[in-house]
Amino acid sequence: MEGEKVSESIVTLSHVMQPQDANPAGNIHGGVIMKLIDNAPPREP
């Protein structure tokens, strides 16, 4: 099986962050980002 180039395997996911996703300084919690990555649909070959 031949691999693919990184440029051919990009997935774009958009999500509107809500105030509960951030700390008081306005930074998004890392766990929220990891959850979005885990829930991203698999890329079609």
For residue 4, what pLDDT is reported? 78
For residue 1, what pLDDT is reported? 64
Q: What is the pTM of this model?
A: 0.63
For residue 21, what pLDDT is reported? 95
3-state secondary structure labels for all residues of 9-37: CCCCCCCCCCHHHECCCCCECHHHHHHHH
Spell out the domain ranges in the chain: 13-45
pLDDT tens digits, one per residue of 1-45: 688 788 877 778 899 999 999 999 999 999 999 999 898 877 766
For residue 9, what pLDDT is reported? 77
User: What dihedral angle (degrees, nearest 10) is formed by the CA atoms of 38, 43, 4, 45?
Assistant: 150
